[in-house]
Amino acid sequence: MARVVVLGAGIGGLPTAYELRHRLGDRHQVILVSDRDYFTFVPGLVAVALGHNSLERLQLPLETLSRQQGLKWVKGAVQRVDPEAKKVYLPEQTLDYDYLVIATGAELALDLLPGLGVYSHSVCTPAHAVAAYRAWQEFLKDPRELVVGAAPGASCFGPAYEFLFLAEHTLRRQGLRDRVKITFITPEPYIGHLGIGGLANSEQLTLDLIAQRGIETITNAEITAIEPNRILLGDGRVLPFGYSMILPSFRGAAFVRASRLGNEKGFLPLLPTLQHPDYPEIYGVGISVHLQPLQTTPVPTGLPKTGQMTEEMAIAASHNIAVALGELAADPVVPTLDAVCFADFGDTGIAYIAAPVIPEAQGKHRRLAYAIQGKWVSWVKAAFERYFLLKMRRGLSVPWFEQWGLRLFFGISLVRPLQPTVFPQKQPLIKT
């Protein structure tokens, strides 16, 4: 019996554990490690920060889920991994593993920018969303300037756009919009770039909505510091605010850096099969992995790792581990890194589609790259949230009918066979 340890129980870790349990049956042990008691549907935290939803509705108890799905749940913060001895060190115990999946996400690099997270808010963690909501309630009592955006090096821009439009929508509904100047600041070279660029209609659709709502924008924005009630930019401009929500950049988890498994930023370098190039029994899933930015921008931006991309990695990693254990008579697979992102803007929304996010060859066009707007996007986003939480309750990852729907309606696939002619062994798709 092999021991497969999954570190992290978020959108990457929990589906990975479910996939492994499904593929390995009771012939092998699957251990789920998390420093938190609850699974949280992180994409819903924007709504929590603005009071549109409660945190409790986005959370599920991990101990209960693990027991119901035949997983061994271990609570603890990982301190270090010894890849030679195949051990995971927690504060109160040490776990041996035969295979290890690192799906803990990343750290928020708040310390890279003076005042970030001190005088501004974010929606990246449950605690941050709750704090942002409390501050938002105070802001509504005396609304003034609102500044929303992202710090240099940020890679996940969707939540910034969602917060921007949902906040504006909230102010309009409460009759406060004419009292608030709203400014969106982003390191993106243009609105709707999203860290990847090249999406047809993305810039125009987003700019049209911004113009309709009277929002000012600053692109190529390099925030140098955040002080009480003002943001300093590299070009000398100073933006006053009564409330600010600024997304930070990410870096790899502290234990990955301490274990010397990551690159200079602590992200995991991986082969196409999601295996660590030096330790093939270690796999990476989600935000913890390194994805090479597609282009250099005047102000640094990272490449987003969406929830769907994370689920694709979860399927591929669990499939490949099952193959390695002899439980699945199949060839290894790799994630397609196709992505569709539904952004709820209140009274409308935009779906951003990129397939794949990372073209298979430099200079090659994506198969699909476009954005589409409509009220239906908001409905789909709300329905998907309920559906995802239902999946987590039932022990499902990405069932066949979801994969079928993604392929039918959006032309999106999740994994594909490893093709040595395109990706030679030891030549990483995800560059180090």
Active site residues: 156, 341
CA pair distance 115, 111, nearest whole angstrom: 8
DSSP 46-89: HHHHTTSS-GGGGEEEHHHHHHHTTPEEEE----EEETTTTEEE
The tokens for 58 are 């986005």
CA-atom Rg of the chain in angstroms: 21
Question: Which residues, 6+ apart, have CB-to-CB distance to 279 below 8 Å?
Answer: 83, 261
Helices (H), 101-176: 126-141, 158-173
Cα dihedral 132, 43, 159, 213 sign: negative
Give the CA-trace dihedral at 310, 314, 315, 320, to 10 degrees: 130
DSSP state of 271: -
Give the 3-state secondary structure percentages of the chain, helix then strand then coil, rounded to 5.
Answer: 30, 25, 45
DSSP state of 12: T
